[in-house]
Amino acid sequence: MESRKPRKINSKWWLIAANLLGLLPLGVLVWAFWVNQLGFNPVETALQRTGQIAVIFLLLSLAFTPLRRLFKWPILLKFRKIFGLYASLYAFTHFATFAIWDYGLNLPLIWMEIQEKPFILLGFAALIILLVLAATSFRYWQKKLGKGWRSLHRLVYLAAVLVLVHYFLAVKGDIFSLQGDYGAPLVAGIILILLFLLRFPFIYRPLQRLINRKGA
Amino acid sequence: MVHKKSHSIPVDPSEITPKHIYQTRRQFLKQMGVVGLSALLASCAPNVGVPIDGPGSALDEDLADNLTSYEAITGYCNFYEFTTNKEQVDENAQDFVTSPWSVMVDGMVETPRAFTMEEILSTYTQEERIYRMRCVEGWSMVIPWVGFPLHQLLEEVVPTAGAKYVLFEAALVPDQMEGANSGLFPFPYLEGLRLDEAMHDLTILATGLYDEPMPPQNGAPIRLVVPWKYGFKSIKSIVRIALVPDQPPTLWNTIAPQEYGFYANVNPNVDHPRWSQATERRIGETGRRETLFMNGYAEEVMPLYEGMDLTENF
């Protein structure tokens, strides 16, 4: 980054790369299933992995708005949408693994679990939000919903919070004393908080200035 | 280690399995929707068709025919002192030094003393016990343990009148255990039983599995196995057993008392506050199976809990 000239980015290749990145974990997962490499408890592995990948893509997607404030590359907005779509895809795969593979589509049992267990309920609520956002992420809806689109898509923050609470509730231990299996959800939580903070002008402005000065 | 049987020879399940366990597979067949096959299968199982009364005996399977593989038992387990990754414990535990080893037995007993492993293995006849293992996380196995009833050891030291509970302490060797310094868990791992639970014949100290010495990841050289309780009660790599007057602190109960009770009996009717305990995933199978009350050992262990509210005392 030696100059602030508008950068020529060959966006086509970037978009292809982003999509490959999005599909890669699914490919790895399907391949691992195929060659019997999902370990001794494949359902659990698939559940955990799809969940973790969904969290990673959701955090990635949330990272692009603050990043765009700092670096004004237009392509970043496209990444935001692509990674958001993949977050929805993996959240759905996560749910499908739970409902189909784990519970064999035993609907009464699934319904009982969803109703009774806040942790599943929260994940389910987040999934619904992500699917609605995925469905309305295309230009048609963006135009049709006008200003409402932005407000609607702000729900992604709610989804992220729900997802993380869901993650915290899924592991063994005690949340309040932070004793237990909390390593991974803690890291995800800290990243989410940092990304939130980056949206406040008093935090991103100084950073913006710093980057612009360096670039000049 | 006393090796009782070689696995190259098929073993009659009635020789090695507590009687109740292999008595009927009807329930299982019903669940599988293949009742019509039962007559055919009956010829392979010695006691099929013997009906048993009572809810606790609705046993569904011939455990000896449904053993979880050695690879799964030794490759997939929880031993947080090494790592919280169930499939990594195996590797991280390989350098764990388990010999020489001794177990201190003290507290409210007449003759407190340390038992060396050699002494334990030569004094107590090691027998095979095929038990279900149900983890509180929702998965289960069928494991052919080798061991001996804990009461034999306790009788040797003679608990005194005031002894009401038994405290177990696991080894904590931070330089051999990668996860031991994690601030997230208050090690050493402690567990406890009421004295009558500890004296129950189903409660064993296991020193091996599949006729092999206990692998380090499974709790070498000696561990507790309490088959009607969630797996976390079955503490591994024991260094101390103490008879105490009051209910002892136990690791998971200390971390989250509202979620992990002292009793931790397998009970499909009492859910973990955050997830259901009604069903389980049997390692090596697809789909879920229903979790059995007291993990299928109700008939034997329910007398221990007469008059107790099991929802309150979970």
Going from N- to C-terminal start, the domains of chain B cover 15-66, 67-305
Nearest to B256 among A113, A116, A173 (CB): A173
pLDDT for the residue numbered B29? 34
Q: How many domains does chain A have?
A: 1
Q: Average the pLDDT over B159-170 and give the result.
A: 98
pLDDT for the residue numbered A201? 85
More confident residue, B28 or B118: B118
Nearest to B185 among A44, A109, A179 (CB): A179
| Residues paired with residue A174 on neighbouring β-strands, in sequence order | A179
Point out the least confidently predicted range of A82-91, B3-12, B159-168.
Answer: B3-12
B31 pLDDT band, cuts 50/70/90, is very low
pLDDT for the residue numbered B21? 40
A33, A36, A41: which to substitute to probe chain B, counting the most B Cβ within 10 Å? Answer: A41
More confident residue, B160 or B259: B160
Q: Average the pLDDT over A138-152 and give the result.
A: 91
pLDDT at B40 over 50: no
Answer whether residue A198 is part of any domain. Answer: yes
Q: Cβ(B124)–Cβ(B148) under 8 Å?
A: yes
More confident residue, B197 or A175: B197
pLDDT at B27 over 50: no
pLDDT tens-digit readout, A38-66: 999 999 999 999 999 999 999 999 999 88
How many residues belong to chain B? 314
pLDDT for the residue numbered A6? 54
Task: Say how far apart CA B250 and CA B60 lie, in whole Å.
Answer: 32
pLDDT tens-digit readout, B56-67: 333 445 898 899
CB contact under 8 A, A104 and B136: no
Answer whether residue A104 is part of any domain. Answer: yes
pLDDT for the residue numbered A179? 66
B130 pLDDT band, cuts 50/70/90, is very high
Q: Is B288 on the interface with A (CB under 8 A)?
A: yes
pLDDT for the residue numbered A96? 96
Smallest CA–CA distance from B179 into chain A, residue: A181
The structure tokens listed for A152 are 């609607």
Q: Is B41 left (phi over 0), alpha (psi -120 to 50) or beta?
A: alpha
Indicate if the alpha-carbon torsion angle B78, B79, B80, B82 is positive or negative.
negative
Answer whether residue A5 is part of any domain. Answer: no
Task: Say how far apart CA B180 and CA A10 lie, in whole Å.
Answer: 50
Task: Say how far apart CA B314 and CA B302 lie, in whole Å.
Answer: 14
pLDDT tens-digit readout, B223-274: 999 999 999 999 999 999 999 999 999 999 998 888 899 999 999 988 887 7
Q: Is B32 on the interface with A (CB under 8 A)?
A: no
Q: What 3-state class would DSSP assign to A180?
A: strand
Answer whether residue A2 is part of any domain. Answer: no
End-to-end CA gap in chain A: 10
Omega before residue B188 within 30° of 0, cis: yes
Residues of chain A above pLDDT 70, percent: 91
A5 pLDDT band, cuts 50/70/90, is low
Q: Average the pLDDT over B120-142 and give the result.
A: 96
Q: What's the complex ipTM?
A: 0.71
Q: Average the pLDDT over A66-74 and give the result.
A: 83
Share the mean pLDDT of chain B. Answer: 84
More confident residue, A142 or B101: B101
pLDDT at B28 over 70: no
Answer whether residue A121 is part of any domain. Answer: yes
pLDDT at B78 over 60: yes
Residues 6+ apart with CB under 8 A from B303: none
Q: Cβ(B84)–Cβ(A183) under 8 Å?
A: yes
Task: Say how far apart CA B230 and CA B137 lie, in whole Å.
Answer: 9
Residue A169: φ, ψ to 5°: -75, -15
pLDDT at B55 over 80: no
pLDDT for the residue numbered A41? 92
Residues 6+ apart with CB under 8 A from A121: A114, A115
B286 pLDDT band, cuts 50/70/90, is confident
Q: Which helix (H) or strand (E) holds B113?
A: strand B113-116
| Residues paired with residue B128 on neighbouring β-strands, in sequence order | B146
Q: Cβ(B73)–Cβ(B209) under 8 Å?
A: yes
Domain residue limits at A125:
11-215
What's the gap in Å between the CA of B62 and the closest CA on chain A?
Answer: 22
Selection from B62, B50, B232 nearest residue B139 by Cα: B232
pLDDT for the residue numbered B61? 59
Nearest to B274 among A44, A169, A182 (CB): A169
Selection from B164, B163, B313 nearest residue B253 by Cα: B313
| Residues paired with residue B141 on neighbouring β-strands, in sequence order | B133
The CATH number, out of the four listed (3.30.70.2860, 3.50.50.60, 3.90.420.10, 3.40.50.300), of the domain defined by the range B67-305 = 3.90.420.10
Task: Name residues 181-200 of chain B within 8 A of A (Cβ).
Answer: 184-186
pLDDT at B167 over 90: yes
Task: Say how far apart CA B87 and CA B74 lie, in whole Å.
Answer: 9
Q: Cβ(A159)–Cβ(A129) under 8 Å?
A: yes
End-to-end CA gap in chain B: 36
What does the DSSP 8-state code read for residue B247?
P
What's the gap in Å between the CA of B127 and the closest CA on chain A?
Answer: 27
Q: A167 vs A155, A187, B147, B219, B313, CA distance in Å? A: 18, 11, 39, 29, 28
Pair type for strands B238-244 and B102-107: parallel
pLDDT at A86 over 70: yes
The structure tokens listed for B296 are 């299928």
The structure tokens listed for A64 are 């692009």
B133, B184, B290: which to substitute to probe chain A, counting the most A Cβ within 10 Å? Answer: B184
pLDDT for the residue numbered B184? 81
A38, A40, A187: which to substitute to probe chain B, counting the most B Cβ within 10 Å? Answer: A40
Q: What 3-state class would DSSP assign to A74?
A: coil
Smallest CA–CA distance from A97 into chain B, residue: B287
pLDDT for the residue numbered A52? 95
CB contact under 8 A, A119 and B275: yes
Selection from B181, B186, B116 nearest residue B153 by Cα: B116
Highest mean pLDDT among A119-128, B79-88, B234-243, B287-296: B234-243
pLDDT for the residue numbered A123? 94
CB contact under 8 A, A179 and B288: no
Q: Cβ(B187)–Cβ(B199) under 8 Å?
A: no
CB contact under 8 A, B87 and A44: no
Share the mean pLDDT of chain A. Answer: 88
CB contact under 8 A, A170 and B274: yes
Instruction: Kindly give the residue spans of alpha helices, DSSP state H, lying in B124-194.
Output: 150-157
Q: Average the pLDDT over B267-285 and give the result.
A: 87
Answer whether residue A43 is part of any domain. Answer: yes
